[in-house]
Amino acid sequence: MSSALDGGVPGSRGSGVRRRQRPVLLGRDAECASLEAVLAAAGAGESGVLVLCGEAGVGKTALLDHAVGTARGFRVLRAGGVESEMELDFAALHQLCVPLADRLGELPAPQCSALETVFGRSAGAPPDRFLVGLAVLGLLSVASDEQPLLCLVDDVQRLDRASAQVLGFVARRLGAERIALLFGARLPGRELEGLPRLEVTGLHEADARALLAPVLRYALDDRTRDRIVLETRGNPLTLLELPRGLAIEQLADGLGVLTGESLSGSVEESFSARIAELSDESRMLLLVAAAEPVGDPAVLSRAAERLGVGAGDAPDELSGLLTIDHRVTFRHPLVRSAAYRGATSRDRRAAHRALAEVTDERADPVRRAWHRASAAAGPDEEVAAELERSADRARARGGLAAAAALLQRAVALTGDTARRADRALAAARISLHAGEFDMALRMVGVARTADLDELHEARAALLCGQVAFASGHGADAPPMLAAAARRLRPSDPAAARETYLEAWGAALFAGELPAAGRLLDVSRAVAELPPADPPRPSDLLLDGLATLVTAGRSAAAPLLRRATAAFVSPDGTSDGDLPWGWLTTVPGNVLWDEHSWETINARQLASARDAGALARLPIDLTATAILAAWRGDLAGADAAVAEADTVIEVTGTRIAPFGAMFLAALRGWEDQATALSDSSIDAAVRGGQGIAVQYARWTRAVLCNGLSRYDQAFAAAHQAAAEAPQLFLSAWALPELVEASAMTGNADVGADALERLADVASAAGTDWAEGVTARSRALLSAPEDAADLFDEALDRLSRTKLRPELARAHLLYGEWLRRRGRRVQARTQLRSAHEMFAAIGMEGFAERSRRELLATGESVRKRTREPAATQDLTPQERQIAMLVRDGMSNPEVGVRLFLSPRTVEWHLRKIFDKLSITSRRQLRDALPPG
Ligand SMILES: Nc1ncnc2c1ncn2[C@@H]1O[C@H](COP(=O)(O)OP(=O)(O)OP(=O)(O)O)[C@@H](O)[C@H]1O
Ligand SMILES: [Mg+2]
């Protein structure tokens, strides 16, 4: 696709990679200094990004050109959006990367093939957007090894979405390459949110006057001139263009008509006025050029020939509007839009028809289809079908946004209402997967303008529910998904059941916030479904989860166990793309079954990674982190949390920091734990993610028990255990509640909690559940029974991998023995507890054991487990250090963390410095074991 860097200076020739003749920039010292600073840093090995923002004509492109002029020794790559309704996925990205095509082979194979697929050089599975991002980052990084790079991406507001997303990703992940990435944008979309910005505003008065003086064709008095300067607000393009298009009387009025919003409108009008004076032929030529997004002079000339407006060179009267040399370049993007929008619809269609005719169907089927569509005067099934085929092709290349746009176009050209609804729903589905939620809802709206039959209406409702869930895991989704499932029941029972699973999962996230009973509503509806015959694993899962809510744990346990067995078995479902796939680990939580939880989670995680299902990956990684934390592998949990955070940063998925909350609580880091749970509760209430509230309360109970603040632990555990849904969180809160009750003398509450916990354990029947229950029972039982119960707890928990739970059994046993005056035995238990807590890194509980030991007369030094130096590492450095210690190469770490290998190397050097080591091998000793 063409560079749309059309904002050249009068007399500039073409665009593209060549240097242009630059005007002297007036009044831009500060802006130039910022640009030069980015370039200097990039030259020295620290990549930088700057997004130049400002209204049309304010001088963004001029500043980018200036950067090109000052970037000595840099290789310059340019790309830009183009004025066209055409959405061709990755078009701008292609333009940027084409000059580097010979380096593709230096990328890891998956990245290389992702880019080849995206650019249509080879057929392959549609690559994940983030894999493409990583590949582009890698490609630029490789190229910058040889020579620093200046990448310019102008007219961001017109970039195709896929390119904008990938470039936004790349901008965020730059590090220690030698790359300066500059954007020019009227309105930087959400893809570039949060990146360093440079607001470009109008020129100061003196500079504006200096710019205006040479263009004025009439002598003006100072007052009028000052008024023009004032009303153009120093916008250079307006200053340069408006006076040309206006008559002296208008000028004398000081432009009068200008208001803020219409500034660029006025400039466009001024261009329109010039276009209106052109001969018919020139105007048509200009229109064809405007309708042709590539800027290819050969295509333009062939199309123009068909229309009888032959185009070798642009006629003189087009000078100052259009340049044709090795590319077709507009004086300014506003010329292009003036030419296109000012034309009659008949002329526009004629231009597109001619362009379609000269576009090679085999070489460029999508573009041809698009031109044909733009040439159609009304519904046209043949063209619509061609667009549909093009959409399939775009989708096969990973171009989801383009596929959606093409289908959207096909919808508009489809006369048959039923078929139109089908296509609109297909467009909606693709938009949802592309993360284009608004567009998805718009397409559902289009589908609904037809009289939808029940099945189509159900699908429409499902899409709305899925959008609601995907965009925030909030409270709106469950009733919508449940309604969709209800509608699907008669026509597609299997789809209805899977939709109920989605609804159940959404209700689990929403928790208690919206209105009590949603999980119950969904579960009751499921209970009324005819049984699935034969049941698929997903059916067992659904029935088990629903039964859990409607009839309780013991009734649900057999079903949940069967579902779990099906998912654990080697041929169990592990489709990373299934919207409800993450629910397969819930039975493991409910049944306190760490082994199936581990197996299924590992499988889900691997398949979500393989499928590039990044929107879901944070959920799987969170489950990984929580399980690792339960097992006292805090370093492993840290790594999973950090990876989830990385993915969340690039996808924008909204999910509470579940892993980090549990970790901070186990560690006894009060400030961090409190800050995390406060902000999570706040965000959860706002976003309708009720599960996070309950979760925060449970982790607070763990924290406070560790810190020996039993009143607070009691309050938090009481809330967490009371809150429906009575699934795994409320059950996890029960032992905390029993412990805090025992410590605070709340015998009744404790006894009640213990009874509930015993139910949980009998349904679960695992050593984890039974062991924790025995430990809890010991706390509340008569002295003659307690010792046996503690022994049972130690015995059972030592058969699990849950070291924190075992250590807590030692601690409670030791405390109990000490209170009975059995000091020697108490010391043995407390010493075990203390050592385990210290080794795991549970500082709060370690301190509680240390104080107990002191009370038995044994003094122990306070210990911090981590070698002091590792505390200086940032979370990202810590994560890199651990991955390298575990044997990953720099490129492998880069793939995991979305960084270029060069940036990984750079971090590693800093890590070595901080740890005072010199080799990767030494990391093993320098880091805590994990
Ligand atoms: N500081 C300046 N001094 C002199 N001329 C300038 C200055 N800034 C911009 N110009 C001129 O003003 C015109 C418009 O500038 P430019 O094309 O850079 O605007 P832009 O912000 O890129 O607009 P758009 O959003 O439409 O792309 C150009 O002819 C440019 O050469
Ligand atoms: Mg510009």
- 113-138 per-position pLDDT tens digit: 889 888 877 777 777 777 888 899 99
C-alpha 833 – ligand 1 centre gap (Å):
70
Tokens standing for residue 653: 């998925």
Probe ligand 1: pick from 5, 12, 28, 61, max atoms within 8 Å of CB?
A: 61
Average pLDDT, the chain: 86
- Atom from ligand 1 closest to the CA of residue 59: 18
Higher pLDDT residue, 643 or 209? 209
517 has a pLDDT exceeding 60: no
* For residues 751-755, average pLDDT: 97
Q: Are 524 and 515 in contact (CB under 8 A)?
A: no
C-alpha 2 – ligand 2 centre gap (Å):
14
Q: Give the ligand at the shortest distance from the Cα of 59.
A: 1
- The dihedral through the CA atoms of 460, 462, 464, 466 has a sign that is negative
* Strand stretches in 186-276, DSSP E: 197-199
453 has a pLDDT exceeding 70: yes
Q: Is the CB of 240 under 6 A from ligand 1?
A: yes
C-alpha 501 – ligand 1 centre gap (Å):
55
Q: Is the CB of 148 under 6 A from ligand 1?
A: no
- Atom from ligand 1 closest to the CA of residue 203: 1
C-alpha 153 – ligand 2 centre gap (Å):
10
Distance in angstroms (rounded) separating the CA atoms of residues 389 and 354: 21
Which of the residue ranges 462-476, 590-604, 617-631 would you say has the lowest mean pLDDT?
462-476
Confidence at 324, pLDDT banded by 50, 70, 90: confident
User: By C-alpha distance, which of 358, 344, 420, 352 is closest to 388?
Assistant: 420
Please tell me the predicted confidence (pLDDT) of residue 18. Answer: 37
Please tell me the predicted confidence (pLDDT) of residue 314. Answer: 73
627 has a pLDDT exceeding 80: yes
Please tell me the predicted confidence (pLDDT) of residue 833. Answer: 97
C-alpha 25 – ligand 1 centre gap (Å):
9
Q: Give the ligand at the shortest distance from the Cα of 12.
A: 1
Residue 148: phi and psi, rounded to 5, are -60, 150
Q: Whose alpha carbon is nearest atom 8 of ligand 1?
A: 59
- 213-256 per-position pLDDT tens digit: 887 766 666 767 777 777 778 889 888 877 665 544 444 443 44
Distance in angstroms (rounded) separating the CA atoms of residues 359 and 294: 11
Which of the residue ranges 350-354, 551-555, 785-789 would you say has the lowest mean pLDDT?
551-555
Q: Is the CB of 331 under 6 A from ligand 1?
A: no
Please tell me the predicted confidence (pLDDT) of residue 9. Answer: 31
Per-residue exposure over 700-716, b if at least 16 CB sit within 10 Å of its own CB, e if not:
bbbbbbbbebbebbbbb
694 has a pLDDT exceeding 60: yes
Distant-in-sequence, close-in-space partners of 382: CB < 8 Å, separation ≥ 6:
none
Distant-in-sequence, close-in-space partners of 921: CB < 8 Å, separation ≥ 6:
none
User: By C-alpha distance, which of 776, 770, 762 is closest to 795?
Assistant: 770
Confidence at 263, pLDDT banded by 50, 70, 90: low
7 has a pLDDT exceeding 50: no
Amino acid occupying residue 704 = C
Q: Is the CB of 236 under 6 A from ligand 1?
A: yes
Please tell me the predicted confidence (pLDDT) of residue 6. Answer: 31
617 has a pLDDT exceeding 50: yes
Please tell me the predicted confidence (pLDDT) of residue 847. Answer: 95
Q: Are 585 and 616 in contact (CB under 8 A)?
A: no
Q: Is the CB of 56 under 6 A from ligand 1?
A: yes
- Atom from ligand 1 closest to the CA of residue 211: 4
User: By C-alpha distance, which of 198, 132, 137, 200 is closest to 172?
Assistant: 137
C-alpha 54 – ligand 2 centre gap (Å):
10
- Atom from ligand 1 closest to the CA of residue 184: 22
Please tell me the predicted confidence (pLDDT) of residue 724. Answer: 65
Tokens standing for residue 793: 């707890």
Tokens standing for residue 865: 């487990």
Confidence at 398, pLDDT banded by 50, 70, 90: low
* For residues 441-464, average pLDDT: 90
Share of the chain above pLDDT 70, in %: 88
Q: Are 512 and 531 in contact (CB under 8 A)?
A: no
Strand partners, 231: none
- Atom from ligand 1 closest to the CA of residue 200: 21
- Atom from ligand 1 closest to the CA of residue 54: 21
Confidence at 23, pLDDT banded by 50, 70, 90: low
Tokens standing for residue 372: 């044909």
Q: Are 451 and 417 in contact (CB under 8 A)?
A: yes
Residue 555: phi and psi, rounded to 5, are -65, -35
Q: Is the CB of 7 under 6 A from ligand 1?
A: yes
Q: Give the ligand at the shortest distance from the Cα of 9.
A: 1
Confidence at 610, pLDDT banded by 50, 70, 90: low
Which of the residue ranges 88-92, 807-811, 827-831 would you say has the lowest mean pLDDT?
88-92
Please tell me the predicted confidence (pLDDT) of residue 11. Answer: 32
Confidence at 13, pLDDT banded by 50, 70, 90: very low
Higher pLDDT residue, 649 or 200? 200
Which 3 state secondary structure label does DSSP give 58? coil
Q: Are 602 and 640 in contact (CB under 8 A)?
A: no
Tokens standing for residue 905: 């190397």
- 183-223 per-position pLDDT tens digit: 999 988 888 888 999 999 999 989 998 898 887 766 666 76
Please tell me the predicted confidence (pLDDT) of residue 868. Answer: 55
C-alpha 184 – ligand 2 centre gap (Å):
7
Confidence at 3, pLDDT banded by 50, 70, 90: very low
Confidence at 860, pLDDT banded by 50, 70, 90: confident
Strand partners, 75: 149
Please tell me the predicted confidence (pLDDT) of residue 503. Answer: 93
Distant-in-sequence, close-in-space partners of 370: CB < 8 Å, separation ≥ 6:
86, 88, 387, 390, 406, 409
Q: Is the CB of 267 under 6 A from ligand 1?
A: no
User: By C-alpha distance, which of 275, 234, 227, 268 is closest to 250?
Assistant: 227
- 288-304 per-position pLDDT tens digit: 999 887 788 899 999 99
**DSSP-assigned letter for residue 552:** -
C-alpha 161 – ligand 2 centre gap (Å):
18
C-alpha 82 – ligand 2 centre gap (Å):
11
Please tell me the predicted confidence (pLDDT) of residue 395. Answer: 76
Please tell me the predicted confidence (pLDDT) of residue 593. Answer: 96
Q: Is the CB of 26 under 6 A from ligand 1?
A: yes
Please tell me the predicted confidence (pLDDT) of residue 481. Answer: 93
Burial class (CB in 10 A: 0-12, 13-18, 19+), 787: middle
Distance in angstroms (rounded) separating the CA atoms of residues 54 and 192: 14
861 has a pLDDT exceeding 80: no
- 54-100 per-position pLDDT tens digit: 998 899 999 999 999 999 999 999 998 775 545 667 888 988 998 99
User: By C-alpha distance, which of 618, 673, 606, 625 is closest to 645?
Assistant: 618
258 has a pLDDT exceeding 70: no
Distance in angstroms (rounded) separating the CA atoms of residues 510 and 51: 37
Higher pLDDT residue, 766 or 417? 766
pTM above 0.95, yes or no: no
